[in-house]
Amino acid sequence: MLVLSSLFNAGDAIATIAATDSTSVEVFQTSVDQKRLSGRQRRFAGDKNSDHLALLNAYHSWEEVRETKEYFLEEYCEREMLSNPTLTVISEAKRQLKDLMIQFGFPEISFVPQTYSYFGPDSELDVVTSLIAFGHYPNVCYHKEKRKVLTTESKLALVHKSSVNCSIFELKFPSPFFVFGEKIRTKAVSCKQMTMVAPLQLLLFASKKIEYVDGKVRLDNWINLEMDALVAGKIVALRPRIEKLILLVSQDPEYANALSEQDKHLVKIVKMLCEFDAGRDGLEDTSSATGRRESYRGGMNNRRGVKRSYDDMSMNSPGGYNGQGRGFAPRQRFDRDDFSSQPNRGGGSRFSSSFSGTEMSSWRGGSGFGRGQNSDFTSVGQSYVSNRMNESYNMGNSRGSNMFQSRGPWQGRGSRGSYGGFGLGGQ
């Protein structure tokens, strides 16, 4: 995670998060009878639904006060309900991590602190979120309802009470997918340090086994993404090259500051795919005027103009979800069956399809990513269409591999548009 972060100039943020993960003491102080975070503490997360980013923001705020108004530090920590001793330990651990990386030869510019926006879109912060997903895999879960989440192999767990994603009110998340730091077992199993991620971030950074089964892209035998196989294959084809780039930088850390033109292009494409809204071209933006991301409402048996959160979906097999839910649709006013063909920015048209008995809507584009067109991407009924797939990335012929245990149309001999072992071809 730290090595990869040096390629995106996110070393300082990832070093902070890595130091925080190594600390067992809570940064946010809570009383014995009130284990949930206060509104003042939850504010550090902005609209990102992430404990890791909340801690990052809290640390940066604490660090700024310590450097500019140290006489005010204790009063600040008391007012914001932060643990000054814990943050001091994190600061020392972070300093040691950064010093070690720089001693190994990694460029100092990769570990310069960055300024992030925790409300509204921030592409640099989305890269940090993707790196968090990369570093915390295989700890992936799916939000079901209230505090309930499903972890790997459909095991039920709860959102930990100390999470910014836990509230006495029912929360509606822009994406139901999360990565988490650890599981805590008391009366029930709880997931701590949760960060919301987009499906594209899972596909690129937080999955191992990728299959194409029954018209759906399946991740690790339990997450089903309804998306074009060609687009999925080309996104997955980036992964071997990313791994090779990590190996190159590990062997020669200075290469992180002197990338070839081809690797610079790779980093640029990965940054585009890391954006939370990278799969929502032609759909309503997930951030409102106040910076809050909008929720999704169901597409089936849903009255017009009524906001709904995504419905419960039962998981009766490792294959995925069986038709219990209404699916996801952007917060728009349209009838479920009224999907007239109309062009979008990708030159495609809107269409309706079913997902194991669940109605949903999505946007169909062209075959995309390498041809300058858009393609549709629907995750558990949630519409995602890549608006960043107009970057040509034809790297020539390469021989296919099975390093991700993938089965389906992109296993075998590669074709143009693939790189580093994943192409389109025979089985």
The predicted-structure confidence for 298-316, as pLDDT tens digits, reads as follows 222 333 333 333 333 333 3
pTM for the full predicted model: 0.68
DSSP string covering 247-309: HHHHH-GGGGGS--HHHHHHHHHHHHHHSTTTTBTTS--SB-TTSPBP--B-SSS--TT---P
The CA-atom distances, in angstroms, between 14 and each of 3, 191, 194, 221, 339 are: 10, 20, 15, 29, 44
Q: And the tokens for 187? A: 């009366």
- Asked if 299 and 329 touch (Cβ cutoff 8 Å), the reply is yes
Q: Provide the CA 38 distance to its chain's centre, in angstroms.
A: 25
- Asked if 278 and 369 touch (Cβ cutoff 8 Å), the reply is no
Q: What is the mean pLDDT of residues 133-146?
A: 95
Q: What is the mean pLDDT of residues 64-75?
A: 93
Residue 253: its pLDDT value, please? 96
Using pLDDT thresholds of 50, 70 and 90, give the confidence band for residue 286.
low
Distance CA 262, CA 420 (A): 13
Radius of gyration of the CA atoms of the chain, in A: 22
DSSP string covering 197-217: --HHHHHHHS-S-EEEETTEE
Residue 326: its pLDDT value, please? 32
Domain boundaries, the chain: 2-197, 198-427
What does residue 361 show for φ and ψ, rounded to 5 degrees? -130, 150
Residues 6+ apart with CB under 8 A from 48: 54, 118, 125, 129, 195, 196
